[in-house]
Structure 1
């Protein structure tokens, strides 16, 4: 019997749910049942961690109830959440399922992209943001979509490449106060290229924003950041111009901001470490990418 193909996935959050949905779409009813089980369990645990739900059982009792020691169902583990008091939080650990006739072993990682970079696995799912933050080269011109990303990865730096995006579209969006935008101007990349002054971003996204906008557009621009505990949209409203994530843009509008160009999709991506590719991993990769409009053509 062939060995299962290991696939690194996030332990929690939107990228994990997007990965599970893609695995369910490619793997059939059993995979869909597994995906629903894991997603509903982790949403419930998130609600408990945030204090919006309660459970009389202790965290270890819940962990034992959720996990399948025989290996036929999902297993979970505990991590320290970064909320006040650092409560223990139940997150995904591992599971086995079948996709396109091949056994797959899902392995939970805090940052699956790094597991691929260190050659622990050949395939994995993670946020496109992390790829831009870590390995996409900074050049005068920016990137606007996933098709630009692989060309900006230095092959001497990593063997990891993006296979496809999953379309769970949250976007890095330009936003500004009406007073910042001159009459008739479009709030887009060209606006930033002509702009001089402060641009408010979340501190972790500094390199990402540089990669997306390009170094030329940021000449004369100074990055500033929200105060601790301050909402990003509120900080952008104080600054006048910024970049932050949007789904509907409702929060930004509540702060009086105008939404401009969607700069880059903050979506979950399927990635491959080309140096670790085998016939089995390639076959699984094709099955997982099948039917996705944003699948990238091989170089």
Structure 2
């Protein structure tokens, strides 16, 4: 039997759901995708205390997984980051069929890093992580996923971005009316930040990302500031005056009295390949099937 094409995927959350939706579209495995999504959403609610179960976590884990059937989803246990470090059931693996090729989705905490170590030819992860880890900083800002590969040092990694999945939220400029002054709201863009001097509120995990999407020339006169312990980002930006935060509708930001500015960079799940490993017909077929859709952000 031919070995399946193995794809590293996130273990939980919005990126995994985007991957499952995409793979369901090209494999017809909608019921499997729905099963994994509903199971993980329930388990997340149990972990957060929003749901309860009469069965303990080990009984639930056993009931979810059928180890005799590779086309049935498998799950595993991880320690959650929340207070008390509760055990949380997360995705482990499942096999689907794409155009006659068996494709095994394998859960990893950090799929991008698994590709960097040549453990997989294909994988899905957040574009944010690619930008944070391997994209070089430059005076000019990086505004979209289509520019990622040009900023990856070939001596740093063989991994490249193939396409985006469209599950997009944006790193967005937010500011108070006081900071903008009398200018129109659409003036809150990169050029505004380039002229601005003072504190800029960001999440500490996105330092390199913010530098890349604003461009290093815009960093002159800026000092990064971070939310306090337990402080919401929108409230922290309102306190600081200006910042960068992930937004979907911007409703919470407006409730905090903030102006919504330029969308700087899409936070999107992307298909990745390790070019030195992706040299088989089966991998090429699977990659082509996944990226075939006009709504995808596809790179040459």
The TM tier, using the shorter chain, reads: over 0.9
1:295 offset after TM fit, Å?
Answer: 3.6
Q: Quote the residue 1:10 is aligned against.
A: 10
Q: Quote the residue 2:233 is aligned against.
A: 232
Task: Name the SS of the counterpart of 1:276 in structure 2.
Answer: coil
Q: Quote the residue 2:159 is aligned against.
A: 160
Matched, 1:26 2:26: yes
Q: Quote the residue 1:131 is aligned against.
A: 130
Q: Quote the residue 2:58 is aligned against.
A: 60
Query: CA contact under 8 A between 2:291 and 2:298: conserved in structure 1?
Result: no
User: Relative to 1, partners in 2 of residues 1:266 and 1:297: Cα closer, same or farther, differing over 3 Å?
Assistant: closer
5 Å-filtered alignment, 1:172-251, equals 172-185=171-184, 186-251=187-252
Matched, 1:268 2:269: yes
CA displacement, residues 39-72 of structure 1 (integer Å, 9 cap, x when unaligned): 0000000010111111010000000011111133
Structure 2 unaligned segments of length 5 or more: list them.
none
Task: Name the SS of the counterpart of 2:298 in structure 1.
Answer: coil
Task: Name the SS of the counterpart of 2:43 in structure 1.
Answer: helix
CA displacement, residues 95-142 of structure 1 (integer Å, 9 cap, x when unaligned): 111012210011000010001111000000111100010001000011
How much is the aligned-residue C-alpha RMSD, in angstroms?
0.9
Alpha-carbon distance in structure 2 between the residues aligned to 1:162 and 1:4:
22
Alpha-carbon distance in structure 2 between the residues aligned to 1:294 and 1:143:
19
Alpha-carbon distance in structure 2 between the residues aligned to 1:11 and 1:4:
19
Alpha-carbon distance in structure 2 between the residues aligned to 1:68 and 1:258:
50
Alpha-carbon distance in structure 1 between the residues aligned to 2:229 and 2:273:
36
Q: Quote the residue 1:87 is aligned against.
A: 86
Query: CA contact under 8 A between 1:166 and 1:292: conserved in structure 2?
Result: no
Task: Name the SS of the counterpart of 2:114 in structure 1.
Answer: helix
TM-score by length of 2: 0.97
TM-score by length of 1: 0.97
1:177 offset after TM fit, Å?
Answer: 0.5
Alpha-carbon distance in structure 2 between the residues aligned to 1:290 and 1:13:
24
Q: Quote the residue 1:290 is aligned against.
A: 292
1:292 offset after TM fit, Å?
Answer: 3.8
Alpha-carbon distance in structure 2 between the residues aligned to 1:24 and 1:72:
13
Alpha-carbon distance in structure 1 between the residues aligned to 2:125 and 2:203:
19
1:33 offset after TM fit, Å?
Answer: 1.1
Alpha-carbon distance in structure 1 between the residues aligned to 2:66 and 2:230:
39
Alpha-carbon distance in structure 2 between the residues aligned to 1:22 and 1:112:
17
Alpha-carbon distance in structure 2 between the residues aligned to 1:217 and 1:111:
31
Q: Quote the residue 1:280 is aligned against.
A: 282
Query: CA contact under 8 A between 2:161 and 2:299: conserved in structure 1?
Result: no
Structure 1 unaligned segments of length 5 or more: list them.
none
